[in-house]
Amino acid sequence: MRARGLVKRYGELIAVDHIDLNVRAGDVYGFLGPNGAGKTTTLRMALGLITPSEGTVELFGRDPMRRGAAALEGVAGFVEAPRFYPYLTARKNLELVAALDGGGARGRIDEALDAVELRPRAADRVGGYSHGMRQRLGIAAALLRRPRLLILDEPATGLDPAGMRDMRGLIRRLASEGITVLLSSHQLPEVQELCDRVAIVDSGRVVYEGALADLRRRGGASYRLRTTDDKRALALLASHAGVGDAAADEHGLLFKAHERDVGELSLALAGAGIGILALAPQLATLEDLFFRLTEGDGAVESTGGAAPLGASSGNGSVRGHDAPEVPVA
């Protein structure tokens, strides 16, 4: 899926503001952002449900606004909660969507029901289903299409912890079978666990798109140090060029530094007769980075230094609210 300059305006309100996305084959792609950031609107445009005010979306090179249903071949999923006919049973609902898919979708109904463990309840009307059961039925309906791209909008919302675990397991398994997954989620640990690439949107604009590992590396250029003499080591850190925010806590010392400076620092510590017991990089959690990008001052740093939001490195790109994309080196 590729989006270029995607804009959606509702009168004066700009819900989506020139969003670019690149979901590559095989990605488990996390799509993150606070409520009202424009995630769902973007997904609706991707599925051809709403028309972009500007820009284009392509699914396997096909524009859903121009090609209609033909553009959705190989694509399945749901936006917001999956919706079904409450007066029909789960099986009838799946028969309906399978009929609208054509091909051999009808023959995969039992398989799909088994995958989401709803076969024993398939004869029940969906009106009596819990939210979690409807979410699972939504996945089953998506699987009937044998998708190559699965678009899931908050699939774990409303699930109990076991349901969330099972949903993660299912997504992981589908990804392992080669399905590209575009996962919009508020569950940051879920995204951190499942996704390899992410886009973070805020106020309708992408503030980061790229590899999750790269983002974490950049946001987490800090190190944990334990030495034979933390007091002297702290003094040395404070005076060493390229090291910042050095502090002590009950677990030892914490500081920020360029990777290349850490080598020099370890030599300096040894030269001062301070033994290094442990020195390990501390990666920021996705949650930390998410809040920094969407609420804070944008202080996500490049791997190579303490550059603020707008500078970047690695494979991803961090974009300021008023600045064009800054490609990562």
Partner 1 sequence: MSSAAITAPHASTPARPQGRRPSTLTVYRWELRKLVSQKRTYLGLALIVILPVFFVIFQNVHQRHDRGAESIFASQITHSGLATPVLMLTFLSLFMLPLVSSLVAGDIVANEDGNGTLKTILTRSVDRGQVLAAKVLAAFTYAVLAVFLSAAVGTIAGVISWGFHPVTSLSGTVVQPAEALELIFASNALYLIPLLAVASIGVLLSVVTRNSAAAVVATIGSVILVDIIASIPGLEGARPYLLTQQFEAWQGLLRTPTDWAPITHSAWLCALYALPALLAAYLVFLRRDVAGG
**Which 44-63 positions form the footprint of partner 1 (CB under 8 A)?**
44, 47-51, 60
Displacement of CA 312 from its chain's centroid (Å):
19
Binding string, residues 130-159; x marks residues near partner 1 by CB under 8 A: ------x----x-x-xxxxx----------
Asked if 123 interacts with partner 1 (CB under 8 A), we say: no
Pair 214, 246: CB distance under 8 Å: no
Pair 68, 118: CB distance under 8 Å: no
Single out the segment in contact with partner 1 by CB under 8 A; choices: 74-82, 234-242, 278-286, 308-316.
Answer: 74-82
| Closest distance to partner 1 from the beta carbon of 163 (Å) | 8
| Closest distance to partner 1 from the beta carbon of 180 (Å) | 5
Instruction: Give the Cα-Cα-Cα angle 148, 149, 150 (nearest 5 degrees).
Output: 120
Asked if 115 interacts with partner 1 (CB under 8 A), we say: yes
What is the CB neighbour count within 10 angstroms for residue 162? 9
C-alpha to C-alpha distance for 248 and 254, rounded to whole angstroms: 6
C-alpha to C-alpha distance for 98 and 159, rounded to whole angstroms: 25
Nearer to partner 1, 112 or 243 (CB): 112
Q: H-type helices in 257-315, by residue range?
A: 259-271, 286-294
Task: Give 148's strand partners.
Answer: none
Q: Which of 29, 31, 78, 290 binds partner 1 (CB under 8 A)?
A: 78
Q: Give the number of C-alpha atoms closer than 13 A to the C-alpha of residue 68, restricted to the C-beta side.
A: 1
Pair 156, 166: CB distance under 8 Å: no
Single out the segment in contact with partner 1 by CB under 8 A; choices: 29-37, 68-76, 201-209, 296-304.
Answer: 68-76
Binding string, residues 163-202; x marks residues near partner 1 by CB under 8 A: ---xx-xx--xx--xxxx----------------------
Instruction: Give the Cα-Cα-Cα angle 66, 25, 1 (nearest 5 degrees).
Output: 25
Asked if 316 interacts with partner 1 (CB under 8 A), we say: no
Asked if 117 interacts with partner 1 (CB under 8 A), we say: yes
Residues that bind partner 1 (CB under 8 A): 25-26, 44, 47-51, 60, 68-70, 72-74, 76-88, 92, 96-97, 99-105, 108, 111-112, 114-117, 136, 141, 143, 145-149, 166-167, 169-170, 173-174, 177-180
